[in-house]
Structure 1
Amino acid sequence: MEYLLPPRGLLTTKLAALNCGVQPATIRDWVRRGILAPCGGTPKRPVYRLADVEAARSAAKPTRNGQRGVNAA
């Protein structure tokens, strides 16, 4: 069951995405890439610390060759 209101200082995937201005799939991608780690919840319904989400949002993201980005021609 997903939290209607998670404990103070914690965010669900959906709330973390809203906080960062990205899609929930981006949050899951950050977890897969090691940029963000869940601090609890369940494997299907993880929760994240607000401070960790803020740090992940401003972290430099590794890119793959051929990936479109700011420096793409």
Structure 2
Amino acid sequence: MQYTSIPPGYLTTTLAARACGVQPATIRDWVRRGLLRRAAGSPRHPLYDVDAVMAAKLAAKPSRPGQRATR
């Protein structure tokens, strides 16, 4: 399902990834880790609140052994 129009204040997974400069898989990982929550949409086509996406981008990410440094 492709959205014909996205409600103001929401982003799709792809748009959220572009806004943060990451891959869509990273957005899904943030959801899995609890850094970001789905705000609307369906389970297969979630929408995220713009403010929540920006907060998740700035949130401290837990490090794991073997994880590449981003900065």
Unaligned runs of 5+ in 1: none
Deviations 1:14-55 (A, max 9, x none): 000011011101100100111100011111100000000010
Q: Percent identity of the aligned residues? A: 58
User: Any unmatched runs of 5+ in structure 2?
Assistant: none
Structure 2 length-normalised TM: 0.89
Structure number, greater radius of gyration = 1
> Which residue in the other structure is 2:23 paired with?
23
Question: Judging changes above 3 Å, is the alpha-carbon distance between structure 1 residues 70 and 15 closer, same or farther for their aligned structure 2 residues?
Answer: closer
Q: C-alpha distance in 1, partners of 2:6/2:44? A: 15
Task: Output the aligned Cα RMSD.
Answer: 1.6
